[in-house]
Amino acid sequence: FPNIAFSLQINLRLILVSGKTKEFLFSPNDSAADIAKHVYDNWPMDWEEEQVSSPNILRLIYQGRFLHGNVTLGALKLPFGKTTVMHLVARETLPEPNSQGQRNREKTGESNCCVIL
């Protein structure tokens, strides 16, 4: 069954802030950090103007939420054989979800953080 591995890959279409897109194939076991590193190591030629200095500042946004580095594609239950669209942005830090911040946000009613469940 040599084609099973291929059929169990997830096709990601990554969109830059500039609107440029590129498609990549990943395994469900790949994490957001793995994807950032792969894209950094295989930076498309037509994305040259958006080249970043390090894979550590590349962030994925899926359905409006930042993905933390250890989140795998499998955990997001992305479909095989279909293209999933994510945004790719350069950002130094992510807001870390924590209980204290969560309580503060509930009091103020505003949210500027994304939590993947």
For residue 78, is it within any domain? yes
pLDDT confidence of 12, banded at 50, 70, 90?
very high
pLDDT at 115: 56
| 66 inside domain | yes
CA 55, CA 58: separation in Å to the nearest integer?
5
Rounded to whole angstroms, how far apart are CA atoms 73 and 45?
A: 25
What's 24's domain CATH number? Answer: 3.10.20.90
- State the total domains in the chain: 1
- Helix H segments across the chain? 4-7, 32-41, 99-108
Q: pLDDT-based confidence at 8, cuts 50/70/90?
A: confident
Rounded CA-CA distance 90/56 in Å is 9
Mean pLDDT of 69-74: 95
Q: Say what the pLDDT of residue 39 is.
A: 97
Structure tokens at 21: 């897109």
Range of 13's domain?
8-88
- Mean pLDDT, range 102-113, rounded to an integer: 47
Q: Which two tokens stand for residue 60?
A: 């994925």
Could you tell me if residue 115 is inside a domain?
A: no
| 12 within domain boundaries | yes
**Of all residues in the chain, what percent carry a pLDDT higher than 90?**
67
Instruction: Look at residue 84 and tell me if it is in a domain.
Output: yes
Look up residue 1 and give its two tokens: 């069954």
